[in-house]
Amino acid sequence: MIVADRKSLEEILGMVADRDKILILGCKGCVTVCNVGGLKEAEILASTVKIARKKEGRPVKVEHRALERQCDNEYVAQLADSVADYDAVVSMACGVGPQFLSEMYPDQVFFPAVNTTFFGGAVQHGVWEERCAGCGACAIHLFGGLCPIARCAKSLLHGPCGGSSNGICEVHKDTACIWDAIVKKKLETGRLEDLVAIKPFKDWRTARDGGPRRSIREELVKGTI
Amino acid sequence: MTATQSGSNLEKVLTAGHFAFTGECGPPKGANVAHLRKKFKYLKGNVDCVNMTDNQTAVVRMSSLAGSALMKAEGLEPNFQMVCRDRNRLAMMSDILGAYALGVRNMLCLSGDHQSFGNHPEAKNVHDIDSMQLIALVKKMRDEEKFLNGEDIDVAPKMFIGAACNPFADPYEFRVHRLATKIAAGADFIQTQCIFNMDKFRDFMKQVVDKGLHERCYILAGVTPMKNAGMANFMSKYVPGMDIPASLIKRLKGVDKRDQAEEGIRFALEQIEAFKEMQGVAGVHLMAIEWEHKVPEIAERAGVLPRP
């Protein structure tokens, strides 16, 4: 899923400093799963903003709700009746949400309340880690099911760099060297030779380097299924 | 406009109030120094400085830094082009220092064509910073004598800073504002995209003059002589951001195939005459694409020789 972190209260307050009636809009998709922008978090942020503005002596009306998903126009359309009632809408979805909202409601201002960070998963309660870089050409089967593009700081394709030490990445002491894990797995399965062959040069056109991407399912577009 | 102490010949020409005349030279798709030196011969003495392109159209060529150094050694003044596509900020600062150490005194800051248009479309691009930030970076290195991180530079690169401007790209309304931002970021001179639509360029220059931008920066109008109607057609259809009026294509088609090159040069000469008179235009940047051998003739007929 897409993982996000909430922006600081200071930053959010700064964005809406000159607004008097705000809607905090959560999303029941990924940001709910990573406990950042669901209905509960929207409610908490709404109360926090209200309290902070009251302290400043500039009370503000804040309402909150959450859409099923902000990345689907079908759900974004549910805001049509009420969107004009506010001075601003603060979206707690990933970066996709406020863009869909801005496109559907050009007269309203949408502020992002979260920083979208990576494609990842929960490794333990309350901890999410990056697992995919969305390069558009998955090759994890070559690396024991682990992704060096996303998980190696240098996106190396031929083993750990000289900075790896005791299974730890040289960049952060709390990050495992993914290449250490890949090599160990290959050793355990007796398939180390898989890593020795020189890999073809990666074609980055399927990644963000090729420009904004699009996925089309013809059968859905045509409505044949 | 204040002097930069760059020691650039182009800067001297412009500050003295001469109508500048700059050229361009694409480095070879190989390490063919002889080929490069041959091109230099056509340019030497005919232009004030020569742009050394940086993997132009995203096609791999000899590095612009090496090309600039070779040019310098042959007694020409290079305008070292740098694109943001292929380098991050570390490589940029390092190459800027290297270029200055090798005697380069002008540099042109560009975003660079996207690699999907070139001969390695599968490449990962960099775009760590953009052309506007590159201008500001070179200015910071020159004027504050500091790296981007604030550390002092031991002998700062005193570059005469150039940037590009395409008055014909959309949205047109924004173009003059983007130019103003480049000047605010630190551009000392601007070389425009090839101009073919003279009416639109006149309108653009009026906006430039109304805003007083020509008093803060030298603007060199881009001229590319058309070799034939086919080239005009191709550029019109396939080169993004080109504005080639149908009247020009018609004019080239109107003469015999053997005479189309001469007609293309005539149009370029007419443009240069118009630019000499146009308020706000400080010179011409001649981009004779793979036609360097025509530069002496064009310079002669344009009446810009001898160079100061």
pLDDT mean across residues, chain A: 96
Q: What is the CA radius of gyration of chain B?
A: 18
Token couple for A38: 């669901």
pTM of the model: 0.94
Using a CB–CB cutoff of 8 Å, tell me whether B127 touches chain A: no
**Mean pLDDT of all residues in B152-173:** 96
Q: Which residue out of B60, B88, B114, B124 would a mutagenesis test of the A interface target, given it has the greatest number of A Cβ atoms within 10 Å?
A: B124
User: Quick one: pLDDT band at residue A113, thresholds 50, 70, 90?
Assistant: very high
What pLDDT sits at residue B5? 84
Using a CB–CB cutoff of 8 Å, tell me whether A201 touches chain B: yes
- Please name the member of A201, A207, A210 whose beta carbon is closest to the beta carbon of B116: A210
> What long-range pairs does B256-264 form, CB within 8 A, spacing at least 24?
B257/B228, B260/B226, B260/B227, B260/B228, B260/B229, B261/B225, B261/B227, B261/B228, B263/B226, B264/B225, B264/B226, B264/B227, B264/B228, B264/B231, B264/B232
Calculate what percentage of chain A has a pLDDT beyond 70.
99
Its ipTM equals 0.89
A154 and A106 together in one domain = no
State pLDDT tens for residues B275-288. 999 999 999 999 99
| Interchain CB distance below 8 Å, B122 and A207 | no
**Structural domain span for residue A173:** 133-210
A29 and A95 together in one domain = yes
pLDDT mean across residues, chain B: 96
**Mean pLDDT of all residues in B282-296:** 95
What pLDDT sits at residue B290? 84
Question: How would DSSP label each residue in chain A?
Answer: -EEEEEPPHHHHHHHTTT-SEEEEEEESSHHHHTTSSSHHHHHHHHHHHHHHHHHTT---EEEEEEES-SSSHHHHGGGTTTGGGSSEEEE-S-THHHHHHHHH-TTS-EEE-EEEEEEEEEEETTEEEEEE---SS--GGGGTT--HHHHSTT--SSS--TT-BTTB-SS-TTSB-HHHHHHHHHHHTT-GGGGTSPPPPP-GGGSGGG-S-----HHHHHT--
**Mean pLDDT of all residues in A174-199:** 95
* Widest Cα–Cα separation across chain B: 62
What pLDDT sits at residue A43? 98
What pLDDT sits at residue B2? 73
What pLDDT sits at residue A72? 97
Calculate what percentage of chain A has a pLDDT beyond 90.
96
What pLDDT sits at residue B7? 95
Within 8 A by CB and 6+ apart from A97, the residues are: A25, A27, A70, A71, A91
State pLDDT tens for residues B241-284. 889 999 999 999 999 999 999 999 999 999 999 999 999 999 99
- Rounded to the nearest angstrom, the minimum Cα separation between A208 and chain B is 9
pLDDT of residue A28 exceeding 70, the answer is yes
State pLDDT tens for residues A144-157. 999 999 999 999 99
Using a CB–CB cutoff of 8 Å, tell me whether B56 touches chain A: no
| Interchain CB distance below 8 Å, A210 and B124 | no
A63 and A140 together in one domain = no
State pLDDT tens for residues B195-213. 999 999 999 999 999 999 9
A88 and A165 together in one domain = no
Give the integer Cα–Cα distance in Å for A202 and B99: 31
Distance separating the N- and C-terminal Cα atoms of chain B: 20
Q: Examine residue A216 and state whether it is found in any structural domain, yes or no.
A: no
A53 and A110 together in one domain = yes
pLDDT of residue B122 exceeding 80, the answer is yes
**Mean pLDDT of all residues in B225-233:** 95
Calculate what percentage of chain B has a pLDDT beyond 70.
100
Using a CB–CB cutoff of 8 Å, tell me whether B240 touches chain A: no
State pLDDT tens for residues A69-109. 999 999 999 999 999 999 999 999 999 999 999 999 999 99
What pLDDT sits at residue B65? 98
Q: Can you give the residue ranges of every domain in chain B?
A: 18-302
User: Quick one: pLDDT band at residue B171, thresholds 50, 70, 90?
Assistant: very high
A103 and A161 together in one domain = no
Using a CB–CB cutoff of 8 Å, tell me whether B258 touches chain A: no
pLDDT of residue B93 exceeding 90, the answer is yes
What pLDDT sits at residue B96? 98
A141 and A92 together in one domain = no
Using a CB–CB cutoff of 8 Å, tell me whether A207 touches chain B: yes
User: Quick one: pLDDT band at residue B289, thresholds 50, 70, 90?
Assistant: confident
What pLDDT sits at residue A34? 96
A94 and A142 together in one domain = no
**Mean pLDDT of all residues in B162-176:** 94
A108 and A144 together in one domain = no
What is the number of domains present in chain A? Answer: 2
| Interchain CB distance below 8 Å, B122 and A203 | yes
A112 and A137 together in one domain = no
pLDDT of residue B8 exceeding 90, the answer is yes
State pLDDT tens for residues A34-56. 999 999 999 999 999 999 999 99
pLDDT of residue A175 exceeding 90, the answer is yes
User: Quick one: pLDDT band at residue A225, thresholds 50, 70, 90?
Assistant: low
Domain boundary residue among A71, A88, A117?
A: A117
What pLDDT sits at residue A185? 96
Question: Which fold is adopted by the domain B18-302?
Answer: TIM Barrel (3.20.20)
A9 and A112 together in one domain = yes
CATH number at residue A46: 3.40.50.2300
User: Quick one: pLDDT band at residue B3, thresholds 50, 70, 90?
Assistant: confident
Looking at beta carbons, which residues of chain A come within 8 Å of B120?
Answer: none
Q: Examine residue A124 and state whether it is found in any structural domain, yes or no.
A: no
Q: Examine residue A225 and state whether it is found in any structural domain, yes or no.
A: no
A80 and A151 together in one domain = no
